[in-house]
Structure 1
Amino acid sequence: MHGIAFAVRSALVPSLTESLVSISEWFMTMRIPLMHGCSPTLLSAYAPTLTSAKEDKHAFYISLHAALQRVPCEDKLLPLSDFNAKMGSNHHTWHGIL
Structure 2
Amino acid sequence: MDLAVCAGHPEVVRLLSAAGADPSAAAGEYDEATPPLLAAMRGDTAVARLLLDAGVDPGGPRPAARRWRWGTADRARRHRHRADAARGA
TM-score > 0.5 by shorter chain: no
Q: TM-score, normalised by structure 1?
A: 0.27
Would you tell me which structure has more helix in proportion to its own residues? 2
TM-score, with length taken from structure 2: 0.28
Question: Greater strand share, 1 or 2?
Answer: 1
